[in-house]
Amino acid sequence: MGRPKKFSREGVLEKVIPVFWEHGFAGTRLPDLELASGVNKSGLYSEFKDKEDLFLASLSYYLENRGGRALLFAEPLGWDNIDRFLRMADGGFDGKRGCFSVNSMREFADLPTEAQKIVAEGRSLIKALLIDNIRAAGPKAPAETIAEMVLVFFSGICIEQNLDEAEETSSRKIDNFMQVVRSL
């Protein structure tokens, strides 16, 4: 009988997401994951098949728990939810700014096929939630079109978070964008 685990799956995921976020899938090494999680290689491999499995679990966990879905489910639906969702890029996760899923898209062609699928499905769900919120706000323009604009803006603002000056300008940019979108 093996020794009992001294870590939780969720705890490991919370600790390794920032490592994958900063270095990407390809740039993250097993020693980085061991150091961040406090779990050695054999412990990690007892819970996850390999680095790819750990990355996939991290991405899924992030999207389910930290990817902004809850913000878009809040009642009443409408522009305020979208505004809070966009500002999530400023808030960060464990000191990281932007969005782990969007950052992962920067190396999309090199991601495992399953990771590409997780990112695409996550964006599709966010788009559907955006559409629901936009429809609730009663815009003049088609909700689907506005949702696509919001997603593209969100991706851009998340990528800009990697620039030093982004902190000073992202709030203003979100204010300006929301002013325009609310008028559509």
Mean pLDDT in residue range 96-100: 81
CB 19 within 8 A of CB 32: yes
Sign of the Cα pseudo-torsion (8, 90, 103, 33, in order): negative
Prior bond of 4 cis (ω within 30°): no
**pLDDT above 70 coverage of the chain, percent:** 91
At 32 the pLDDT is 94
Check residues 70 and 129 and name the one with the higher pLDDT.
Answer: 129
> 96 forms bridges with which residues in the sheet?
93
Cα dist from 93 to 23, 71, 153, whole Å: 15, 15, 20
**Running DSSP on this structure, what letter comes out for residue 77?**
P
Lowest mean pLDDT: which of 4-8, 73-77, 99-103?
A: 4-8
Give the residue with greater pLDDT, 63 vs 163. Answer: 63
pLDDT at 65: 87
71-89 pLDDT, tens digit each: 999 999 999 999 999 988 7
Please give the pLDDT value at position 94. 63
Intra-chain end-to-end CA distance of the chain, in Å: 63
pLDDT over 70 at 11, yes or no: yes
| H helical segments located in 92-164 | 100-105, 113-137, 143-160
Inter-residue contact 159 to 98 (CB < 8 Å): yes
Q: How confident is the model at residue 1 (pLDDT cuts 50, 70, 90)?
A: very low
* pLDDT tens sequence across 12-46: 999 999 999 989 999 999 999 999 999 989 889 98
Report the amino acid identity of residue 117: K
List of domains in the chain: 9-61 (1.10.10.60), 68-182 (1.10.357.10)
The CA distance from 166 to 81, in Å, is 22
Residue 68 gets the label, from left (phi > 0), alpha (psi -120 to 50) or beta, of left
